[in-house]
Amino acid sequence: MAEAPLLAIRTLPSWLLGRAAARGRALVAAALAEEGMRTWHHVVLSAVHDLAPVAQADLGRTVGLDPKEVVGILNDLQSASLIVRTPDPTDRRKNAVSLTQEGARLLTRCETVARTANDALLSPLSPAERAQFMDLLTRISGTDN
């Protein structure tokens, strides 16, 4: 009798985490699409909310995107009237980015649907298992909350 294909691979934690992450990203992306948003647009909108007013370059470094990608995303968000760019009060050569009221409203809706998608991802786990899982993920990812 032959072993199941990729048995050695499918038992690696890195493989399982990658599969779970891919499923989570797909669930969140589908939920955000219902709001007319893409994942990186949501990430940038959320970072602008947390950091505003924020210089474009600082924003890119914070979310880990190439400056050209940040500019494209900001152009999309500004075209949709979700953010505004104004001269940075500390350095007029830079733009500071802030949310508009519509951007804040959309971000609230996106946060809700993203949490719902994550609840669906974790639905096989009890509340205690979810808390333990989040603790373990935080520890192995090297991030703090």
Looking at 1.10.10.10, 1.10.3720.10, 3.40.50.1110, 3.90.930.12, the CATH number of the domain 28-117 comes to 1.10.10.10
Q: Phi and psi dihedrals of 21, rounded to 5?
A: -65, -40
- Give residues with Cβ within 8 angstroms of 102, minimum separation 6: 80, 81, 82
Long-range contacts of 20-29 (CB under 8 A, 24+ apart): 20/121, 23/121, 24/117, 24/118, 24/121, 27/117, 27/118, 27/120, 27/121, 28/114, 28/117, 28/118
Per-residue pLDDT of the chain (145 residues; tens, 9 = 90+): 566 778 888 889 999 999 999 999 999 999 999 999 999 999 999 999 999 899 888 999 999 999 899 999 999 999 999 999 998 877 878 889 999 999 999 999 999 999 999 999 999 999 999 999 999 999 998 876 5
